[in-house]
Amino acid sequence: MPVLPNLFTTGNLFCGLLSIMASIEIVVAVSGGEASQEWVFRRFWWAGAFIVISAFLDMMDGKLARFFNHESKFGLSYDSLSDLVSFGVAPAVLIYTWVLMGSGKIGLMAVLFYVVCTALRLARFNVQSGNEERFHFTGLPSPAAAGLMIAPVMLLTALSIMPDSKVVWYFLFAAPVIGLLMVSNVEYTKRPYINLGGPFNALVVAAIIFAAIITHPEIMFIFIVYLYAIVGLVVYAIKQLRGKSKLTDEAQTPEGHS
């Protein structure tokens, strides 16, 4: 049984590699003039879908390791190495081949910075997983960062929309910003909790969400990952402002008064 979590980690790594191979295959086919536009859209979509599958397998390997009480340094290191490929290198290759290859050195610099930030994020997680990051993430987790990168790709390819200059400029800005979010001190919750007023209401909301995911998976995917990133950032900013306000009030309170 202890082998099972590492098998899921291996699956995570395989899917990351499959995404990279799909992106390379597209470049080779397009340069040779052998690819139709429909084929290119479909292959780009699958290059993103492989990363989504990697995220699911990454979630499962941790849950299985805790279930079998087999959390180990080997598993943690193997998981981080796989995550670097699936959530660092694979999204960077996908975005570069999709829109940034024609933007020269600045596009290459943007995706390289993203990959370096992913490596730093995972290295910090390995060090802090037993204390600071036991109950929350410090910085945007790498699977969510990869989701921010690939969600627009999957949505536009599903709608058969070719990326224009606005998409190029978006990723030239977004890739470094997402990288900085990963290495920031912004706290992200591990288990989002929403009070829906009871199990019946939760069941109704879950049914609506499942129906939306089944009918419009790309739209729901981009909505969920960007909502998670933005809400975490907003909550952190509010906490920081409240903390500064509290310190200011305490500094202005005369000594001997409460």
The reply to whether 217 falls in a domain is no
Which letter does DSSP use for residue 101 in this model?
G
Q: Which pTM does this prediction carry?
A: 0.88
The reply to whether 211 falls in a domain is no
Domain that includes residue 13, residue range = 3-188
Q: Is 162 left (phi over 0), alpha (psi -120 to 50) or beta?
A: beta
The reply to whether 60 falls in a domain is yes
The reply to whether 258 falls in a domain is no
The reply to whether 200 falls in a domain is no
Give the DSSP letter string of 128-168. HTTTTTSSEEES--HHHHHHHHHHHHHHHHHTT----HHHH
In whole angstroms, what is the distance from residue 203 CA to residue 196 CA?
9
pLDDT confidence of residue 193: 65
Q: Would you say residue 31 has pLDDT above 70?
A: yes
Whether 220 contacts 154, CB under 8 Å: no
Give the DSSP letter string of 33-62. T---HHHHHHHHHHHHHHHHHHHHHHHHHH
Q: What percent of the chain has pLDDT over 90?
A: 51
Tell how far CA 91 is from the center of its chain.
Answer: 9
pLDDT confidence of residue 195: 64
Tokens of 122: 């995972």
The reply to whether 120 falls in a domain is yes
Task: Give pLDDT tens digits for 70-110.
Answer: 777 888 889 999 999 999 999 999 999 999 998 889 999 99
Residue 187's beta-bridge partner residues?
Answer: 138
In whole angstroms, what is the distance from residue 228 CA to residue 235 CA?
11
Here the CATH number for the domain that contains residue 91 is 1.20.120.1760
The reply to whether 201 falls in a domain is no
Which letter does DSSP use for residue 97 in this model?
I
How many structural domains does the chain have?
A: 1
The reply to whether 178 falls in a domain is yes
Whether 178 contacts 228, CB under 8 Å: no
Q: How confident is the model at residue 61 (pLDDT cuts 50, 70, 90)?
A: confident
Q: Would you say residue 64 has pLDDT above 90?
A: no
In whole angstroms, what is the distance from residue 218 CA to residue 62 CA?
26
